[in-house]
Structures are given as C-alpha cells and as structure tokens.
Amino acid sequence: MVATPVKQKYDIKDISLAPQGRQRIEWAAREMPVLKQIRERFAQEKPFAGIRLVACCHVTTETANLAIALHAGGADSLLIASNPLSTQDDVAACLVADYGIPVYAIKGEDNETYHRHVQIALDHRPNIIIDDGSDVVATLVQERQHQLSDIIGTTEETTTGIVRLRAMFNDGVLTFPAMNVNDADTKHFYDNRYGTGQSTLDGIIRATNILLAGKTIVVAGYGWCGKGVAMRAKGMGADVIVTEISPVPAIEAAMDGFRVMPMAEAAQQGDIFITVTGNKHVIRPEHFAVMKDGAIVCNSGHFDIEIDLKSLKEQAKEVKEVRNFTEQYILPNGKSIIVIGEGRLVNLAAAEGHPSAVMDMSFANQALACEHLVKNKGQLEPGMHSIPVEVDQEIARLKLQAMGIAIDSLTPEQVEYINSWASGT
Ligand code: NAD
Ligand code: SAH
C-alpha cells in the first residue's frame, strides 16, 4: 500500500495512533479475502473516479478495509461514525494519516459532535451515501433537499436502516435508489446471526469478565441477531430464555429448544438481558422493578432506546462506573442493575464489533452495491433495490473458495430433472 500525504480536514482523537491502527487494519485484512479481490479490481478499473462518497459506519478495522477499497477505486470519500461509542481511534488516525481519507469520528463523542459530523458529511455534497442506520439519509431528506440532485443513491447496512428507508419511501421523501445491503443473503445470514452472536457475548465478557455457563440469559427478539445470540449463549452453557412479540419466531425459538415467555416473567428469572429487536423500550421500569439484584442489561439491537435507560436513570438513587463501559444503577429498594455500554450496541461499544471474516461479506456487498449504483446511474427507480442475486452468489462463491471449501455441481441429469414437471411418484 502506498501512503499518500494528509490533504484534508478531520476530527479524530489522536493522529499519532496511526501506526497501531495500520497494524490492526492489516491484521483484519487477512480475514477479508473477498473484499481484497474487489479492492484489487477497483484499483485497476477506478469505478468511482469523480464520485463523492460519504460513509457513515462504525469506524473499525473492517470499515477501514472497505474505505481503502473505495479509495483504491478512485472515490473522493469521507468517513463519519455511525455510533458515538464504536469508533476505534487508531483506525481513524491511520485512515487520515496514511490514506488521506477525511475521518470525523472520536470514541465517546457526545450527541452534538455526532450530529455535527453528519452535517460535515453532507457538506461534502455526496453522490453516494453508505449509511448504517440511515442517519445521514434521514438528515439529507429533512434538511438538505437542495442537495438531492447530487445523489446517485444510497446503500444501507442494517435492518433498522432498511425499516427507516421503507418508511421514508412510503412517505414519498425517498426520491433516489437505495440498495438494501442488509437483506442480501451473504449479509444477514452471517453478519446479523454469527457476527452478532459472537461479538455480543464478546462485549459482555470483555466488559464484565463473568462466566456465562450456568447463567440465565434472556434474549429479547428472535430475528437474525437474536438467533445468533441465543445459539452462542446456549453453546457457552447458559440457560436461554427468548422473548418475542411475533408468533412465528416465537415458535422457532421454542423448537430450537429455548424457553419462550413474556418479558414480565423473564425479568424475574434472568441474570443477563440482551435486547436485539430494533424496537423501543423493550425493557421498561416494570421490568427493572422485578429483576434480581445485580442483573446485567445490555443492547445489541439498535440505538440506545431498546432499554428505557431514561426511566432507569430517573429512578436510580446513584449511578457509578464499576468497570470500563459498565455502570451500576442503585435503585431505591437497594437492588442494583448493571448496564453495559450505555445501552448502545454492546458488541461495538465494549468489544470490536463483528469479526472481520463476516464483515468481509457484508462489505463486499457494500462495495459492489456502490459500483452497481454508479454503473446504473439514472437508470434505477427511486426506492428500495435488492442486491442482484448474481452479486450475492458471487460473494458466496468467492468466500467459499477462500475458506477452502468445495461443493458439488449439478449433473446434466439433475439440471433436467429440477427443470421438468413430468416425472412424479
Ligand atoms: P429482525 O427483524 O430479523 O428481528 C427482530 C426481531 O425482534 C423480530 O423477530 C421481532 O418480532 C422481534 N421484536 C420486535 N419487537 C419486540 C419486542 N418488543 N420484544 C421482543 N421481540 C421483539 O432484525 P435483526 O436483523 O435481528 O436486527 C435486530 C436489530 O439489531 C436491528 O435494530 C438491527 O439494525 C440491529 N443489528 C445489530 C447488529 C450489531 O452489530 N449489534 C448487527 C445486525 C443488526
Ligand atoms: N447506527 C446504528 C446501527 C446499528 S449497527 C447504531 O449504532 O445503533 C448494526 C450494524 O453494525 C450491522 O448491520 C453490522 O453490519 C455493523 N457492524 C457490526 N460489526 C461491525 C464491524 N466490526 N465493523 C463495521 N460494522 C460493523
């Protein structure tokens, strides 16, 4: 990799952290072979020459590898954090110092800074926005209608961002194409399930150093993330309870061997609570009131509203930090509740987010979704677009190859059989 001099503005913690960031970014790259191939092709073909791109993602070693691939493809890009707590400051430093990519992200930044960075990102006048949770796109459509004509399209990383984009489309304000990265098979099957499954427990363990075996863990939500968290918690020897509001995933959880019950009941039994619903106030004051003394609560879903921390704060006699990213709320009845990562994503606040090997596929989708937008500029209808099936399949094929796994091919006889209806019993 050839270093380019710093040429633009940035807002990061400490540029002298760059060498450590570089080492960690290169370590992550070892597990990102699909993105590497894409980066090498982009470096030849320069699909983003002349394109201004803004990425609002967790500033991690994995995101750095995506940013480097887009940079190699000629993008004039700018990176901001998609969460105030998930930034890895050494990574931000390396991207600025070694690649000249302007980064606006500081671990622990306050909400005002977070929103100021969103405005700076929009000042870059992006043609493409890579969003994670849809904060940049929501601000664009609310406050910067005069910039809509610059936009080629957006790509969205996560489930809640997709929910927000659909709502924008239904309200008639999403007037450009949005690539649905989350729903690609090579994204949510692996990232939301195995990524969240492993990294959520990693965050809880790093923050608390507690033993999971023998604990009762309550997982709220049995979607892609919930399935992963519940599966991995069971594997660590925990007794897992699932709560749901939807009947189909509730049956699935029961048939996967988990106890299923309402939160009001689970609240009395759990030692650790993990929300992964994308919803609001899933754990509320009536639940805190019946929890065991010392119960641990955290969120790996979306934003910091799955747990009603505002009410918990109002109720608490005292709040004190007991370990890094870990606070103890002492209630008037003398019991305490432990909250990790201020109720924000525990895997990114207290650990490093998903491992690189799953982000390889998520970010291969992001890179190819951006390329798809540029190649089809002006041709795509406004609204949601799936990642083309061929792209999803190709990412899976490359990943399998990198994993050293071979699979069978259909024989001509099988091709004929599955395409015919004539032969039956
Ligand atoms: P999903 O739609 O597959 O699953 C969400 C599940 O939560 C659904 O089954 C839904 O019925 C259930 N639910 C909704 N409200 C509930 C409530 N009040 N109580 C119990 N269950 C409830 O979504 P997903 O892909 O699993 O994503 C969940 C959230 O996690 C989203 O906000 C997404 O953006 C986020 N996410 C986080 C990470 C991470 O790195 N931590 C990774 C991927 C996705
Ligand atoms: N902005 C919201 C978004 C939810 S984040 C918030 O911060 O609350 C969920 C997304 O984070 C997932 O879809 C996943 O792809 C992404 N993610 C998880 N680990 C990551 C990592 N190591 N690097 C970059 N992004 C990561």
Query: What residues have CB less than 8 Å from 299, skipping those under 6 apart?
Result: 274, 275, 276, 306, 307, 341, 343, 344, 345, 346
Verify whether ligand 2 is closer than 6 Å to residue 60 (CB atom): yes
Q: Report whether 222 belongs to an annotated binding site.
A: yes
Say how many Å lie between the CA of residue 57 and the centre of ligand 2: 7
Residue with CA closest to ligand 2 atom 2: 133
Band of residue 1 on the pLDDT scale cut at 50, 70, 90: very low
| C-alpha torsion 109→207→355→260, nearest 10 | -110
Two structure tokens written together for 300:
């790996």
Condensed to tens digits (0 to 9), the pLDDT of residues 165-178 reads 999 999 999 999 99
The best mutation among 132, 136, 139 to test binding of ligand 2, ranked by most ligand atoms within 8 Å of the C-beta, falls on: 132
- Phi-psi bin for 229: left (phi > 0), alpha (psi -120 to 50), beta? alpha
**What is the C-alpha to C-alpha distance for residues 56 and 52, in angstroms, rounded to an integer?**
13
Output the CA–CA distances (angstroms, integers) from residue 145 to 18, 140, 174, in the order listed. Answer: 37, 7, 11
**What is the C-alpha to C-alpha distance for residues 153 and 179, in angstroms, rounded to an integer?**
8
- Measuring CA to CA, which residue among 32, 80, 75, 36 is closest to residue 55? 80
Residue with CA closest to ligand 2 atom 3: 133
The reported pLDDT for the residue numbered 190 is 97
Band of residue 9 on the pLDDT scale cut at 50, 70, 90: confident
% of the chain residues with pLDDT over 90:
96
Residue 160 CA: which ligand 1 atom is closest?
A: 34
Beta partners for 251? Answer: none
Residue 306 CA: which ligand 1 atom is closest?
A: 18
Residue with CA closest to ligand 1 atom 14: 277
Condensed to tens digits (0 to 9), the pLDDT of residues 200-209 reads 999 999 999 9
Q: Report whether 343 belongs to an annotated binding site.
A: no
Q: Report whether 408 belongs to an annotated binding site.
A: no
293 half-sphere exposure, CB direction, 13 A CA radius? 5
Condensed to tens digits (0 to 9), the pLDDT of residues 109-161 reads 999 999 999 999 999 999 999 999 999 999 999 999 999 999 999 999 999 99
Amino acid at 259: R
Verify whether ligand 2 is closer than 6 Å to residue 302 (CB atom): yes
Verify whether ligand 2 is closer than 6 Å to residue 365 (CB atom): no
Residue 224 CA: which ligand 1 atom is closest?
A: 26
Taking 70 as the threshold, does the pLDDT of residue 6 lie above it? no
Condensed to tens digits (0 to 9), the pLDDT of residues 332-344 reads 989 999 999 999 9
Q: Report whether 244 belongs to an annotated binding site.
A: yes
Condensed to tens digits (0 to 9), the pLDDT of residues 16-43 reads 999 999 999 999 999 999 999 999 999 9
In this structure, are strands 128-131 and 216-220 parallel, antiparallel, or unpaired?
Answer: unpaired
Q: Report whether 362 belongs to an annotated binding site.
A: no
Please list, residue by residue across 118-144, b when 16 or more beta carbons sit within 10 angstroms of its beta carbon and e when fewer do. Answer: bebbbebebbbbbbbbbbbbbbbbeeb
Question: What ligand is nearest to the CA atom of residue 261?
Answer: 1
Q: In three state form, how does the secondary structure of the chain look?
A: CCCCCCCCCCECCCHHHHHHHHHHHHHHHCCCHHHHHHHHHHHHHCCCCCCEEEEEECCCHHHHHHHHHHHHCCCEEEEEECCCCCCCHHHHHHHHHHHCCCEECCCCCCHHHHHHHHHHHHHCCCCEEEECCCHHHHHHHHHCHHHHHHCCEEEECCHHHHHHHHHHHHCCCCCCEEEECCCCHHHHHHHHHHHHHHHHHHHHHHHHCCCCCCCEEEEECCCHHHHHHHHHHHHCCCEEEEECCCHHHHHHHHHCCCEECCHHHHHHHCCEEEECCCCCCCECHHHHHHCCCCEEEEECCCCCCCECHHHHHHHCCEEEEEECCEEEEECCCCCEEEEEHHHCEHHHHCCCCCCHHHHHHHHHHHHHHHHHHHHCCCCCCCEEEECCHHHHHHHHHHHHHHCCCCCCCCCHHHHHHHCCCCCCC
pLDDT, the chain, mean: 96
The reported pLDDT for the residue numbered 104 is 98
Q: How many Å is the Cα radius of gyration of the chain?
A: 22
Verify whether ligand 2 is closer than 6 Å to residue 345 (CB atom): yes
Q: What are phi and psi of 42, to 5 degrees?
A: -60, -40
Question: What ligand is nearest to the CA atom of residue 361?
Answer: 2
Say how many Å lie between the CA of residue 268 and the centre of ligand 2: 30
Condensed to tens digits (0 to 9), the pLDDT of residues 321-332 reads 999 999 999 999
**What is the C-alpha to C-alpha distance for residues 105 and 179, in angstroms, rounded to an integer?**
24
Q: Which residues line ligand 1 (CB under 6 A)?
A: 158-160, 188, 192, 196, 220-226, 243-246, 249, 276-279, 282, 300-302, 345, 347, 354
Q: Please state the length of the chain.
A: 425
Taking residues 46-62, what's their average pLDDT?
98
Say how many Å lie between the CA of residue 147 and the centre of ligand 1: 32
Beta partners for 296? Answer: 272, 338
Taking residues 40-57, what's their average pLDDT?
98
Taking residues 303-321, what's their average pLDDT?
96
Say how many Å lie between the CA of residue 266 and the centre of ligand 1: 18
